[in-house]
Structure 1
Amino acid sequence: MTDRADQKLREAEDLRARLISEGRHRDAEIIRSLAATYRASRQANALLQADNQALKDGKPDGGTIDMDYPARARAKIAEIHAALPADATFSMRVSALKRGYPFGERRFWPYQAWLQERAKYLRQYDPETPLGPLLEGVSFPYQERAA
């Protein structure tokens, strides 16, 4: 299959050269753009096939498949929490979480999981929450453990 495709590309290049020699530059440019598009699509198809094979093997991009966005969000929030000073204000925490969003575009399930975990984290530091005293005995994964 590849040999046939390479042969067709060589024929297109020969046709392009002939069209240029005949002074038909516009037709030659059309042939050039078609050949370039075909080469690009072949390259993209090769990359897609490699990605599909990696998915079948269970290791896309050399890593494991990890679709547990809530767990990833909790881990990132714990990392952000550890970097904050102990006396950080609520607005500092909100700002740090806005800057630390790990999933790229803020849409769809990853963003919804992030918002849910963010709300759980911020609820314990929100000065406006009416549940403040009720949450004192509850253990959250982000709170420092008393030594």
Structure 2
Amino acid sequence: MISRDALKRPGQTAQVEGTWAERARATINAVDQGLPPDATLQQRILAVDAAYPFIRRAHYPYQVWCRVRRNYLSKFGYVPQNAARGPLLRIMEGKSR
């Protein structure tokens, strides 16, 4: 039986260690340092997506990647397409809740 801790950590290799989130953050930080300071949001999205470090875009590692990616890109004005509308927009649309 696989332990819970084994699920939290990726397969250990000689090069990279840490949790899925630590590996994702390290990858995104390396991409960020390679981008020019005046890079647009679209350039950042393309660069981060191209640097996906895990084998498949599926299951828990991909969920962690998406969360870390969203947190990084939100610093530059990124708004997810499925983001909930705030209360002001709901009032403006005529919906109280």
Per the normalisation by structure 1, the TM-score is 0.42
Shift of 1:120: 0.4
Shift of 1:128: 5.9
Please, which runs of 5 or more residues in structure 2 have no aligned partner? 1-10, 81-97
Task: Report the residue type matching 1:112 in the other structure.
Answer: Q
Runs of 4 or more above 6 Å deviation: none
Alignment counterpart, residue 118 of structure 1, candidates 69, 75, 79: 69
- Counting aligned pairs with the same residue, the percent is 33
Please, which runs of 5 or more residues in structure 1 have no aligned partner? 1-59, 130-147
Does the residue aligned with 1:78 lie in a helix, a strand or coil?
A: helix
Aligned-partner Cα distance in 1 for 2:13–2:75: 38
Per the normalisation by structure 2, the TM-score is 0.63
Larger Cα Rg: Structure 1 or Structure 2?
1
Give matches, 1:1-147, under 5 Å: 63=14, 66=17, 68-126=19-77
Shift of 1:66: 4.0
Task: Report the residue type matching 1:121 in the other structure.
Answer: Y
Encode CA deviations 1:20-44: one digit per residue, 9 max, x unaligned.
Answer: xxxxxxxxxxxxxxxxxxxxxxxxx
> Structure 1 pair 104/89, CA: closer, same or farther in 2 (3 Å)?
same
> Structure 1 pair 61/95, CA: closer, same or farther in 2 (3 Å)?
closer
> Structure 1 pair 67/123, CA: closer, same or farther in 2 (3 Å)?
same
RMSD: 2.7
Tell me: higher relative CO, structure 1 or 2? Use CA pairs within 8 A at least 6 residues apart.
2
Aligned pair count reads 70
User: Which one has a larger percent helix, Structure 1 or Structure 2?
Assistant: 1
> Structure 1 pair 78/64, CA: closer, same or farther in 2 (3 Å)?
closer
